Amino acid sequence: MPFVLRDVLTYSKNLADVRRIISSTPGTNSFVFLMSDGKTNQSELYVRDRFRFEVHKPGVELKDDKKSFPAIKNVLYGGHYESKMAQILAERRGQITPEMLMKDIIPFIAMPSNFQNVVYEPQGLQFWFTNAKDPDNSAANQPYTHFDFGKALADFGVELHKKSKP
């Protein structure tokens, strides 16, 4: 998974590139990737394992043989505790910020075995991550580390062409 993510971050310019990279990578485990394009404000959720590659869009009910995630307009989500997720995401729809995800939403929906969280802000090319301290101290209860990917790219001389905000 970390190598697929590296390739997506390195070689993708849009969601079509993300789909191509994830779908062409051999599935060795089951992973769910939620990717967005900061230029177009579009997102997709991908399920990849040895036997399948699925693409899911925002605002469409997501179902498998065990769970169902009700459609929420312009929201794409999946994971454990589907009813808790549907509740908090619907209540906070249109107000969600990285800070709200880290402080309110992730702790509310995290499993006891939660070992890592990553919160992305694609328009600003930033992300925050946290890892579990040990098996008894989940990632949801640890401080986040911030990484400004846009600044790192600029420091290496990579010129970015960002969509201007209205």
Q: What is the DSSP secondary-structure string of 85-105?
A: HHHHHHHHTTT--HHHIIIII
**pLDDT, tens digit (0-9, with 9 covering 90-100), for 19-31:** 999 999 988 888 8
4: number of Cβ within 10 Å: 20
Regarding pTM above 0.75, the answer is: no
Tens-place pLDDT, residues 57-76: 988 888 877 778 878 887 87
pLDDT score for 146: 96
Instruction: State residue 128's pLDDT score.
Output: 94
